[in-house]
Structure 1
Amino acid sequence: MINLELYRVFYVTALEKSFSKAAIKLFITQPSVSHAIKQLEEKLELQLFIRTSKGVSVTKEGETLFKYIEQAFTFIDSAERKISEIKNLNRGEVTIGGSDSTCKHYLLPHIKTFQECFPDIQIKLQHGSTPSIIEKLTSGIIDFGIVHLPVDHKQIQVTEFLNINSTFVVGEKYKELTKNENTLEELLKYPIISFSEKSSSRKFLNLLFQKQGLNVKPDIEVGSVDLLIECAKIGMGVAFVTKELVTKELKNCLLFEIKLNEKIEKRKIGLVTKKELPLSIAANQFFQHLLTK
């Protein structure tokens, strides 16, 4: 293997057609340039330059070498420029994982303000439940994820992001439930609408009832917040939802909140990253943007 610096000296000398000018450009002495060229010629067993009254000229063999070396250093220069652009956030890419609801309600507003500041950073989204987001993170498909907590995984670092409130809502059909306080046991007399068994929301719902010694088996399982809301609005049952996601429906009396005789503890949404794996400059910038907004 030949030292890349020897080729750099050759490249600059061929461009400048002068050992002295090459020395100035490379910030080394002229003897150092001569020594480097001599080393390269000995390694290649070829003469690369011919001394002239005006400096030096490249031999035919040197011209052949220069055509390839020129391409190599052009690529190197391009790479350095690209890295500089990434460092200065003039380009870059961030891939984030989350569920439809977390992306829509907690992520998109921040993406909008971030891209106003850094329009050349491309944001990509990967859909999935909390378990699938963790899998995508550990396999390197995404830079970080936004998930419902708790998350317990030895490869995952969790940063708390938001606190959210959970509640039960109904449509006009079951509006009478909103007149008085209800117990969880009383709610079991009505059809329950919830997310699927593997979702974090469903696990939270199950735990809520288990603490009262009750077992909940939803009559309707859905895969999205929008569908859950629509099912409740048309009177299909009692829906367990994140309150912040139905404020519009509650305000417009399309849904009605059920009063419970006990307080439901807040849930947490967190940002998850892979331990011991630093984020890229662009990803870290967006990560910090989320935490400061």
Structure 2
Amino acid sequence: MNLDLYHVFYVTALENNFSKAATKLYITQPSVSHAIKQLEEKLGVQLFIRTSKGVAITNEGETLFEYIHKVFGLIDTAEQKISELKNLESGHVTIGGSDSTCKHYLLPYIQTFQNEFPNIQIRLQHGSTPQILDKLNNGRIDLGIVHLPINDSQIQLTEFLSISSTFVVGEKYKELANKNISLEEMLNYPIISFSETSSSRSFLNQLFLKQGLSLNPEIEVGSVELLIECAKIGMGIAFVTKELVSKELSKGELFEVYLNEKIEKRNIGLVTRKNISLSVAADKFYKHLLD
């Protein structure tokens, strides 16, 4: 199919004049005539009849135009939609992250982005770091925000921010906040942690393993909110991201337990699929996070 011939026919049928069609198409009138003749020979029918005022479309031409105008109408609509996407007048971004990461680190960026680009739809999917990586590799999200380190050759990683980890207790174990204790001493108390599959738990396990200690938390939870509440009511010592309990610490609802050794900071990264370009909207949001 020579789409150019059909385009010449389409414009000529709209204008009913070879000369006007040539002007609109930025070609010469003989070029229009030649294109129409080629199409007529290809289809084996006459499409136009010359008149004193220009040309008149034949019945066969009317039948062809009935279908052709739908095609070029869809092309016009598609170009308009692409223009809207390019100019961020429409589109969507799907982001994956844990509940706490989305709530405490991502939502402020989403709010400022939507203030600037209100027509871009932001979609959130939650999950652990392994689940987010799986969703990313399967194309279910555009980008993810995960705890590091990760090891995946299909992933493009950019470090996003650093967070501090600490141990906290409620009123019941408040006396632990008045002294520095070791990890070995901490094992004498119930420990509250995320589940075994979480990156936070992996980090905690490694912290104890470096001291030759084995960790078996008495309580495992699935959300930072539940972790905080368990610590507040005195169920044990909770391992948390310090930035997420700043309010509770300042209000005296939780108390920080200091180790006699330093806990290294943890990193959060942005992940995208390697060698696969982001959409215009997703790329704009990605850059908004980094800015």
Is the pair's TM-score, using the shorter chain for normalization, greater than 0.5? yes
Q: Which residue of structure 2 aligns with residue 277 of structure 1?
A: 276
CA distance in 2, matches of 1:206, 1:114: 37
- Structure 2 unaligned spans of 5+: none
Alignment of 1:85-124 (within 5 A): 85-124=84-123
Q: Which residue of structure 1 aligns with residue 144 of structure 2?
A: 145
Residue type matched to 1:80 in 2? E
RMSD: 0.4
Q: Which residue of structure 1 aligns with residue 165 of structure 2?
A: 166
CA distance in 1, matches of 2:68, 2:113: 41
- Number of equivalenced pairs: 291
Residue type matched to 1:274 in 2? R
Q: Which residue of structure 2 aligns with residue 132 of structure 1?
A: 131
Residue type matched to 2:52 in 1? S
CA distance in 2, matches of 1:211, 1:9: 75
Shift, 1:70, TM fit: 0.7
CA offsets, 1:55-81, max 9 Å, x none?
Answer: 001000100110111111111000000
Alignment of 1:42-53 (within 5 A): 42-53=41-52
Please report the TM-score for the alignment, with normalisation by the length of structure 1.
0.99
Q: Which residue of structure 2 aligns with residue 31 of structure 1?
A: 30
Q: Which residue of structure 2 aligns with residue 81 of structure 1?
A: 80
CA distance in 2, matches of 1:220, 1:46: 82
CA offsets, 1:11-51, max 9 Å, x none?
Answer: 00000001110000000011110111011111111100000
CA distance in 1, matches of 2:148, 2:23: 60
Shift, 1:52, TM fit: 0.3
CA distance in 2, matches of 1:219, 1:268: 26
Q: Which residue of structure 2 aligns with residue 183 of structure 1?
A: 182
Residue type matched to 2:187 in 1? L
Please report the TM-score for the alignment, with normalisation by the length of structure 2.
1.00
What is the percent sequence identity of the aligned residues?
73
CA distance in 2, matches of 1:236, 1:269: 28
Q: Which residue of structure 1 aligns with residue 12 of structure 2?
A: 13
CA distance in 2, matches of 1:279, 1:18: 45
CA distance in 2, matches of 1:154, 1:179: 46
Q: Which residue of structure 2 aligns with residue 245 of structure 1?
A: 244
CA offsets, 1:165-187, max 9 Å, x none?
Answer: 00000000000001110001010
For the residue of structure 2 that corresponds to 1:249, the secondary structure is helix
Q: Which residue of structure 1 aligns with residue 59 of structure 2?
A: 60
Shift, 1:129, TM fit: 0.5
More displaced stretch, 37-46 vs 239-248: 37-46
CA distance in 1, matches of 2:216, 2:157: 30
CA distance in 2, matches of 1:227, 1:274: 32
Residue type matched to 1:36 in 2? A
Shift, 1:198, TM fit: 0.4
Residue type matched to 2:7 in 1? R
Q: Which residue of structure 1 aligns with residue 204 of structure 2?
A: 205
- Structure 1 unaligned spans of 5+: none
Shift, 1:157, TM fit: 0.7
CA distance in 2, matches of 1:144, 1:62: 50
Residue type matched to 2:121 in 1? Q
Shift, 1:125, TM fit: 0.3
CA distance in 1, matches of 2:43, 2:237: 81
CA distance in 1, matches of 2:31, 2:129: 60
Shift, 1:134, TM fit: 0.4
Shift, 1:240, TM fit: 0.2
CA distance in 2, matches of 1:47, 1:39: 11
Q: Which runs of 4+ in 1 moved over 3 A?
A: none
Shift, 1:197, TM fit: 0.2
Shift, 1:9, TM fit: 0.2
CA distance in 2, matches of 1:9, 1:70: 12
Shift, 1:111, TM fit: 0.2
Shift, 1:153, TM fit: 0.2
Residue type matched to 2:279 in 1? S
Residue type matched to 2:27 in 1? I
